[in-house]
Every structure is written in C-alpha cells, then in structure tokens.
Amino acid sequence: MTRWWNPYSRFVGPGFDGFWSEHLARPRKLLFIVGVGFDPRVLGPLQKIVAAKPNAERHCIAIDFQDGFTADEAAGAFRDVNQTGLNALFPGGSLDVRRLEPNDQDGIRSVSRNTALMLGDVRSFSGYTDIVLDISSLPRIIYLTILNTLLTWLVDKDAEWPLGASTNLHVVYAEAAGIDSRIQKKELEPDLAPIHNLSIRLDEEATEAWPTVWFPVLGEGNAEILARIADHVVPEDVCPVLPAQTADPHRADNIMHEVGEQLFERFEVDPRDILYATEDNPFQLYRSLLGAMQRYEESLALVGGVRFVLSPLSSKGLSVGALLACFEKRLTGNQDQVRAGLAYVETRRYEAGSLSADDHGVPVSLWLAGECYRMD
C-alpha cells in the first residue's frame, strides 16, 4: 500500500539550519502560525528561520489562547517573555495576535471549533509560498486542529501527487520529551474534547456492531487520562504505543510502571500488540499505525468493519505522527468498512513552575505538503 509521506522530508538539529538556509535562498513569502504561550521553546525554531534570511517577507498569526486555559504565575512570566520575542521577530505590523475565546456554555468543547473558525481566512490568503506552523507553545487540541485544517485545504486525495500543493506546509517545533513531561497538567475535563473534523462518532448506528481498536500513544503522567478515554471508547482491542530510542533509555519502562496495571489487567493487552515509536521521527509512527490498521482492516472484514481510535498523549512529534496516520486513513480508507478518528481528553490548567528559561530542545522541521512532493 502506497503511503503519502513516503519518502518524507524531515530536518533535525543541524539539518534544520541547513534546510532553512537552502530553502530561503529562493524568494519566499512566509506565513507563520504560532501560539502566544508559556513554553520556553517557542522562540528557538522561529529565530533560526528568521536568521536564515532576515529580509524575507513574512507575516505571523499568533494565537492567544489564555481565555481557554488557566496557568500558574511561572507560566505567565514565560508567556510575557515569548510575547516580547514575537514582537521583535515580526515588527512593523507583521504580527497579528488573535484571541481565542471559547463559548461560555461549551468551554473546552468549543476550543477546537473556534480555532478552525478563527483561521478561516487563511485559506484565502494569496501570494504566500510557505505556511509554517510552530506547535512549540500550542496546546495539543489547538495544534492538531490547525494542522488538520491546513492539510484538508492543501491535500487533494484524487490528484496524481496528493501532497503536491502549490503552497508549502511546514510544521516546526523543539523536541524535548523531558520538557513536555515537566509541564504539569491539572483539572482534566470529564468528557472527550471534540477535535474539529477529526473526532470519531462512537454512537453511529451503522457502525455499532463493529469492533473498536484503540491506539493510545503513551507519555508520562497519563494514567488518569487513559482511564477517562477508555470509559468513553470501550475498546475491544488496545494497541499501546511506547516511545523508543529516546534520550532517556528507561522512559518506556517508566511509562509502563505508571500504566502497566491498566494495560495488562483492565484492557488485557497482549505484549505482542505493543507498538514502539522512534521518539524523534513522527513519520515512523505514522507508518507503523497505518500498517497496524491495515492488518486489522483485513482480518476484520468479515465482521463488517472496524473503528480505529487514536489518542495522542505523548510528545509533540509523536502526536503529529498519529494525526498524519488518522488523516490519511480517513481520506483513503474504505468508508464502507472503516472509521478512524481521534479521542482525547484536554487539560484546563497548565503549570510551568518546573521549567527553566534554558529549556530549548532540538529543533525539528517537517515538510508536509508542497513542491517537494511533486515529481514533475
């Protein structure tokens, strides 16, 4: 089965600098989409890109999402530093700060929908050669919504080269699972957080008899989230995803220590069904998930169909990998026999008290659509 992102374009560490220097050697007009958040990693990738060609024409949409989430005093201080840095990187009116306001009656349930609505005008922007989505400082529900929206606009599944859009799409971030794990998540929502055009309908009558296969992509501190999602999904099979080849060789063991009892006693996971994902390569997880879904699809065809539920609960990169697999399966899967979507529980409060201004991470750039995927 042909995979859309195979081969793929990924640039890490020194390769990040080299790619952007070469890419910006040609005339480019850049549109950045970033978060006005507290994560100290947000300015690193942006500064490197701007430094590669300081006079490149650029505009930035910065999403201020503080109305949808609460934070501690440390997070507020980091946020102020990041706001100052964004002002310096995008001077002269090139910074457009947009405030994301959830609906009072829906709260967190409206965050994804309102994010998509707030960026609705981006599709009509003309003249931009590249859209750069920096996910470093955005909550998962927001950056997954934005990325899915951009891919929906740019990918043509019926084209000879589905990813060969006229506008280049890049996702950048600073990968550091250790930093992700030190951001404290508090006040979990009781219900699943709908992700615009990515959630799966678990109450669809036509698929009620289909077995549900759940792929939770695991990180630290997710025991309660895992239990809450399971209560909604009620899976027949669970295929957990654990990080591999990480900076901390014991990371997978530590995660299993937290959630192993749930996996093996409540969900009766067969150890052979555990998937391992290279920490710093979302495309490897993307391939593994699609391969696993294909095997389930073939083996369950006789029972009518199957529902695949993916829950990205790990690092930023692995969350992107899960989204890519879900996005492709939704567009290319047999709609008579397959449903695929994300199930996620969001956090209302984030605390950054254990972070440091020296936390930077390794810059990563993923080129997801555009000229590199056209073979003409």
Q: Could you report the per-residue pLDDT of 315-344, keeping only the tens digit for each?
A: 899 999 999 999 999 999 888 899 999 998
User: Which pair of structure tokens corresponds to residue 56?
Assistant: 């490149």
Residue 318 to residue 252: CA distance in whole angstroms: 14
204 by Cβ neighbours in 10 Å (0-12 / 13-18 / 19+) ranks as: exposed
pLDDT in tens, 157-188: 999 999 999 999 999 998 876 666 666 677 77
Which DSSP category does 172 fall into? E
Residue 145 to residue 148: CA distance in whole angstroms: 5
* Spatial CB neighbours of 143, under 8 Å, sequence gap ≥ 6: 35, 133, 135, 316, 319
Phi-psi region of 307 (alpha: psi -120 to 50; beta: other; left: phi over 0): beta
Amino acid present at 326:
C
For residues 194 and 338, is the Cβ–Cβ distance under 8 A? Answer: no
Residue 50 to residue 278: CA distance in whole angstroms: 29
Residue 23 has a pLDDT of 98
Concatenating the DSSP letter of every residue in 11-46 gives: EETHHHHHHHHHHTTS--EEEEEEE--S-TTTHHHH
Residue 356 has a pLDDT of 67
Residue 247 to residue 50: CA distance in whole angstroms: 28
For residues 281 and 246, is the Cβ–Cβ distance under 8 A? Answer: no
Q: With a cut of 70, which residues of the chain have pLDDT below it?
A: 1-2, 104-107, 177-184, 352-353, 355-359, 376
Going by DSSP bridges, is the β-strand pair 184-188/347-351 parallel, antiparallel, or unpaired?
Answer: antiparallel
> If one looks up domain 9-181+353-373 in CATH, what number appears?
3.40.50
Would you give the distance in Å from CA 19 to the centre of its chain?
Answer: 22
Residue 179 has a pLDDT of 67
Three-class SS state of 294: helix
Residue 146 to residue 129: CA distance in whole angstroms: 18
Strands (DSSP E) found in the chain: 9-12, 29-35, 57-64, 70-71, 95-99, 130-134, 168-175, 184-188, 212-217, 237-238, 241-244, 275-278, 306-312, 338-342, 347-351, 362-369
pTM of model > 0.85: yes
Residue 10 to residue 172: CA distance in whole angstroms: 10
Residue 103 has a pLDDT of 80
Residue 39 to residue 273: CA distance in whole angstroms: 34
Q: Work out the number of other CB atoms within 10 angstroms of the CB of residue 84.
A: 11
Residue 106 has a pLDDT of 67
pLDDT in tens, 207-220: 888 999 999 999 88
**Residue 7 preceded by cis peptide, ω within 30:** yes
